[in-house]
Amino acid sequence: MDISKIWLLLVLAFFHMRGNRIFIQDWIAHHTYQKTNEIDSYYLRVANEINDSLSTLWFEEQETNELIHTDALKTLSIYLTCYLEDVIAKTGIFAAFRTIHTELYNQLLPFHADNDLTDYYAEDINSEDVAVLTWLFFSERNPHLFIDPRGRLIQLVTDLAYAILEEHYEVAPENEKLKLEYVLDEGANYFEVRNFIEKLVATNYLTAGEYNTNLNHLMQVAEIGRYQHDQNQLQQMIYRVRDNHFNNYRLHLYALKASEFVAAVIGKEHRLHDIVKTLGNRMNSFFEFVKTDELYVHVKHIGTKTAFKIFKDSIQQFVEPTETLSFYMEIVPWKDAWNLSGIMTVVNAEEINFDLPEQYEMTYRIEALNGKDKSLKKTEKQLKDMGKLFQSEHKAAVAFMEGKEVKEFATDFFKKYQQKYPSKEESPLPESNLDLTEDAQVTVFFNPKTGLEVFGGIAEFFPLKNNKFVEKDDQSEVPYARYFLNLLVEDFFPSELPKYYVNLFKAEVDKQFFFPLNDAVLDFFLRFYKRGTYFLGPFPLLK
């Protein structure tokens, strides 16, 4: 071969190798500190060994092969090396994941029964942990693609990565610096606790990727750049976006809020555990001013008449009103009172509206603080009775019709409900603002949390006697498992729909699915893929 061609190949190989290397700045980007030491250099070598090994992977299926592009494998290699660092330093990140799973399902890990974990030691690294982490990594970054947790991709990555992790486990150094970064002082004040939660969830390998990606997306949506000319307004907007994200965003991990995951990391024995866990439980509602004293601003929730104490020092430049005023306030629990965390603005009587989904949730939560559940039970009973009526009429929780029939169908349903369950209170029928084409094939689903919901394009998923859109003599096999996955991974569908579907066609789905879906695995999937609707409701349909 011509010497110039050999030289060219060597140069290309060098640049390919260099482009595939993980550098110290890549590693340190997954940590809370910037100054590196020899321990970071050690783990960087481990990450590169894993990356070199994983870079040999290749799959015939194009869809799978596209998942393992260079940048993904580099990040995955860092991610799995951070797991090794976590276990050795006992920072408690993966231990928290396992603790939460055990509390929810009485099993150590998803996809693995405890009686199958014969060689599993919680204080050590384990191949089963690596398999779960690998599934989480790919699934979080490809939420509309279901990845078989026991498939070849997960198995091969696990085998290759774990072999290297196991080789280093006995000799890898403990990163004391990292461990100290994830320790919360038991005497920390509100802002120190809040900053600690954000720091941990935004830097640890298990949650940082999705948390930061979503926060950056919200920053773009808010068009933060518009405020560059005014630094005060810019900082206010950045804080506003971060505050909303902190209080509202639910992780793929069990649909938890950041504060709930961090509470599991610091552990129940920590003096601030309960405070940390509830710090993301923001109340957004309408309050009436009562009085002030040396420490607190006293207000009363207008809907439930419940008294609240707000720490005065959490409200900047508060001036005591000289007349009765109502406020819309966003407050979070802190010790034995509340802190303002967001907006506090004066509202007029006509602006106060408790007939909003968000305000129903606030009412339930405030009543629960007082050991009551009257409003919640009333709503649950209404939805339960409606569900019984729907089921008796259609022999299922789904009905099928054309778009032009939906409005009349809903009106008739609510009238039948009012006749069967008469109320002393006058209640107008819900108004429909659906924009449906007349001949659309519509599936009406009775959601036990939110009532009637309308979907197009899924009638074929339900080969039932009451489905006029399905050919009764069609002998072709129904892809139940594929339909279930469609309902599961698409954000558009609420958590209750795939749950209902898999229970309706349990035998058929289990026969076609990768493995039988027990209740624990199904709930884990619902929390992961449906974190936005998993905790939604219940909301009353008739006031």
pTM > 0.85 = yes
Give me the sign of the Cα torsion angle 47, 49, 52, 54. Answer: negative
Per-residue model confidence (pLDDT) at position 140: 96
Residues of the chain with CATH 2.40.50: 282-369
Give residue 268's identity as a one-letter amino acid code: K
- Given CATH 2.60.40, say whether it is the number of domain 282-369: no
- Largest Cα span, the chain: 95
pLDDT, tens digit (0-9, with 9 covering 90-100), for 163-203: 999 999 999 999 999 999 999 999 999 999 999 999 999 99
At residue 225, does pLDDT exceed 90?
no
Per-residue model confidence (pLDDT) at position 286: 97
Q: How confident is the model at residue 18 (pLDDT cuts 50, 70, 90)?
A: very low
Q: What is the Rg, in whole angstroms, of the alpha carbon atoms belonging to the chain? A: 27
Q: How confident is the model at residue 307 (pLDDT cuts 50, 70, 90)?
A: very high
Per-residue model confidence (pLDDT) at position 4: 54
Element (H, E) at 486: helix 480-489
At residue 213, does pLDDT exceed 90?
yes
Distances (CA, A) of 497 to 64, 193, 434, 446: 28, 38, 19, 9
pLDDT, tens digit (0-9, with 9 covering 90-100), for 380-434: 999 999 999 999 999 999 999 999 999 999 999 999 999 999 876 666 666 666 7
Closest CA to 101 of 86, 111, 89: 111
Q: What is the mean pLDDT of residues 487-501?
A: 97
User: Which residues are bridge partners to 286 per DSSP?
Assistant: 328
What does residue 221 show for φ and ψ, rounded to 5 degrees? -60, -40
